[in-house]
Amino acid sequence: MDMMVLLGKQRIALWRPAIYAGTILFFLSSFAALHPAFALVSVPPLAGLVSSGARQAVLSTAESYLGTRYRYGGSSKSGIDCSGLVYVSFLKATGVRIPRSVDALSKWVLIIPKNELEPGDLVFFSLEAKTHSSSKNPSTNVSVSISTSVPLKTSVPPVSPGRCLNSMSLSLTAASIPSSQSSILPQTSVPPKTSVPPNLSDSSILAFSLSKADHVGIYLGDDIFIHAASTGAKTGVIRSSLREKSWQQRFLFAGRALPASGFSGFALDWGSGISFAQLDMLLQGDLLAFVRGISGWTEVSLPVANNLSAGLRAGVQWDRVLGVVRVPIEIDLGRIFGVSVFAGPAITFGLPTLNGRLYTQGDFFLATGGLRWSSFFYSRGAHRLGSYIELRYDYYVPKPEQVESIRSDLQSCLNISIGFRLRNVFY
């Protein structure tokens, strides 16, 4: 008997550090996920908001602007810039107002590998990428008139093809401006060269690329894209090839805003969690007794709107306190990153028993339900790793002819669990 007690204590001693570490890791990751940098887009931004023919409509609209002259900040057939072309093409084709500047577009799209480009995707460039020889060229002196109507001499870097809204930078020559007027000047600077610093992680390189994007086009297929060019042999809205050396050097990344197929945004999730029992056991320092059970599940889901999905989840739950195993099948509706609700039938194996009270499953079709809050704290490609916290109500009713105990009845039905989830998105 003493040997059995000793073995039991040893098992508790082995499990306690793992449970402590897992609980601490969960809360740390959940707090990290609250940071805006981790509010990751899991599907193309317009998935669920547009029709299946939206891609072709975007291409047709963009090509209707072929030959339109370039005008910085323009968004009409009297003159247009690169981000303006993307904006009006999407607005007329989908009715949705998307970000207007290159910088905002680069942070809004779902980044995809270049070899997965589909017609209607966006391609981003850095026009400063070929400035290695531009330092040999003298700056061009021009006069700029601001609200005070005082002519100011400026130094403007050589303009590259296709500059867009928010990418023009001016370096004002301070020596030519009276100190009394310096406070009214726009605070701008010439962007540096786009050589990626060494020893950067993948995420740092992506952040660096996002910060350098200053030109955008719409991919047409066969390595051809349409964009608005400001200088060069041809200007205005034209077609160019990604195979051209100049654009190969300037290319940064590809982005997706529209679903590529009816299954864009289709996702598979896997997860595992720990549920908890009575709080008084934790207060007594018995952490292992505080663990009510463990669970594992998988889910398939489709987006119905931006950051909103509907899915079907199936899992297995072991409830140590009640002495049963349950197999719930749930409909899950809610936010991919945030709160969702779930409910569904369940099959129970075993006879639920708590504090000497016997229970039975109250209903088969509505056997379980609750609320779940999910977050993501790591992303790589189409993969997301995150955490979740869940409040679940399992519908049990006490068998007749037993002493009433509201506390035991609530403990048998309610439980809280925390866990981790892995999400794989097909975009």
Instruction: Give the Å distances, CA to CA, from 347 to 298, 350, 364, 399.
Output: 16, 10, 7, 18
Task: Say yes or no: 358 and 313 in one domain.
Answer: yes
Domain boundary among 215, 234, 256: 256
102 belongs to a structural domain: yes
Task: Say yes or no: 220 and 335 in one domain.
Answer: no
For residue 246, the enclosing domain spans 54-256
pTM of the model: 0.58
Q: How many domains is the chain partitioned into structurally?
A: 2
Q: Which pLDDT score is estimated for 169?
A: 36
210 belongs to a structural domain: yes
Please state the rounded mean pLDDT for residues 185-214: 46
Q: Which pLDDT score is estimated for 144?
A: 32
Task: Say yes or no: 126 and 202 in one domain.
Answer: yes
9 belongs to a structural domain: no
367 belongs to a structural domain: yes
Task: Say yes or no: 322 and 200 in one domain.
Answer: no
pLDDT beyond 60 at 158: no
Both tokens assigned to 32: 């990290």
331 belongs to a structural domain: yes
DSSP 418: E
Q: Which pLDDT score is estimated for 60?
A: 96
Task: Say yes or no: 239 and 110 in one domain.
Answer: yes
Task: Say yes or no: 203 and 351 in one domain.
Answer: no
45 belongs to a structural domain: no
Which span out of 56-65, 101-110, 209-218, 278-287 was modeled with the highest average pLDDT? 56-65
Task: Say yes or no: 248 and 269 in one domain.
Answer: no
Angstrom distance (rounded) from CA 193 to CA 191: 7
Please state the rounded mean pLDDT for residues 33-54: 62
Q: Which pLDDT score is estimated for 164?
A: 66
pLDDT digits (tens, 9 = 90+) for 56-108: 999 999 999 999 999 999 999 999 999 999 999 999 999 999 999 999 999 88
Task: Say yes or no: 225 and 276 in one domain.
Answer: no
Both tokens assigned to 104: 């905002």
Share of the chain above pLDDT 90, in %: 45
What is the chain's mean pLDDT, rounded?
76
When pLDDT is cut at 50, 70 and 90, the band that residue 260 belongs to is confident
Please state the rounded mean pLDDT for residues 216-230: 94
Cα separation of the two ends of the chain: 59
Q: Which pLDDT score is estimated for 148?
A: 33
- Residues in contact with 127: Cβ distance below 8 Å, sequence separation at least 6, in sequence order: 160, 161, 162, 163, 167, 214, 215, 250
**Number of other CB atoms surrounding residue 399 within 10 Å:** 12
Q: Which pLDDT score is estimated for 129?
A: 66
Please state the rounded mean pLDDT for residues 227-242: 90
Q: Which pLDDT score is estimated for 143?
A: 32
**Number of other CB atoms surrounding residue 155 within 10 Å:** 15
Please state the rounded mean pLDDT for residues 187-212: 43
Task: Say yes or no: 245 and 309 in one domain.
Answer: no
User: Any idea what the CATH number is for the domain that residue 328 is in?
Assistant: 2.40.160.20
The length of the chain is 427
Q: Which pLDDT score is estimated for 22?
A: 56
Domain boundary among 223, 256, 289: 256
When pLDDT is cut at 50, 70 and 90, the band that residue 317 belongs to is very high
pLDDT digits (tens, 9 = 90+) for 374-421: 987 776 667 788 999 999 999 999 999 888 899 889 889 998 999 999
33 belongs to a structural domain: no
CB 386 within 8 A of CB 421: yes
Task: Say yes or no: 229 and 149 in one domain.
Answer: yes
Task: Say yes or no: 251 and 292 in one domain.
Answer: no
35 belongs to a structural domain: no
Q: Which pLDDT score is estimated for 87?
A: 96
pLDDT beyond 50 at 34: no
Domain boundary among 226, 256, 286: 256
